[in-house]
Amino acid sequence: MHRLAASIGALVIGVLTGVGPALAENAPPAPIVGVWQTPDKSQVTISPCPDGYCGILTHVGMAEASYAKLSAADKKRVDKQDPTIFPDVQNQDPKLRTRSLVNLEMVTLKATAKPGIFEGRLYNPQDGGTYDGNVRVESQTQILLSGCLFKVLCRSQEWVRLK
């Protein structure tokens, strides 16, 4: 028991004095880190970034009915996630409507004092709006995003972790 108390004491002193960065490097990633699939089968990769956590759209999903109507050449472009086939056409800023959705930053989040709750900005490519919102980690395999306009009109969406 005495050794455990001494180890904990050394860890606390190391963290307070900045001597323990190697221990922090070996800490498990935040539960928000990973690749998440949206209801439309798009994929967002959330990873640490300078201001907290950033989610990048790494795969744009497409409804099966829409995909079925594409030419063989366009299906190949969709399958390869060709950035030119996925412009941000709904963006509220006309100057940004030609940029690609592929590799676009969709979420910028910071951890809160509440475990498993992250707050920040969420971009919705379906309407081109950016909203204040939060992400709640429901489980190891599910998160719930909630975004609000004027803190009154709110929408939520569940994302599932991919392996």
User: Which tens digits make up the pLDDT trace of 42-98?
Assistant: 999 999 999 899 999 999 998 888 888 898 998 888 888 888 889 999 999 999 999
User: Which is it for the CA torsion 61, 66, 72, 74, positive or negative?
Assistant: negative
Token output for 120:
């920040």
Q: pLDDT tens-digit profile of 149-162?
A: 776 677 889 999 99
d(CA 153, CA 151): 6
Q: pTM, whole model, 2 decimals? A: 0.77
pLDDT above 90 (res 141): yes
d(CA 68, CA 74): 10
- Transcribe 4-23 into DSSP letters: HHHHHHHHHHHHHHT--HHH
d(CA 150, CA 132): 9
Asked if residues 36 and 56 have their Cβ atoms less than 8 Å apart, the reply is no
Q: Which position has the token pair 């395999």?
A: 141
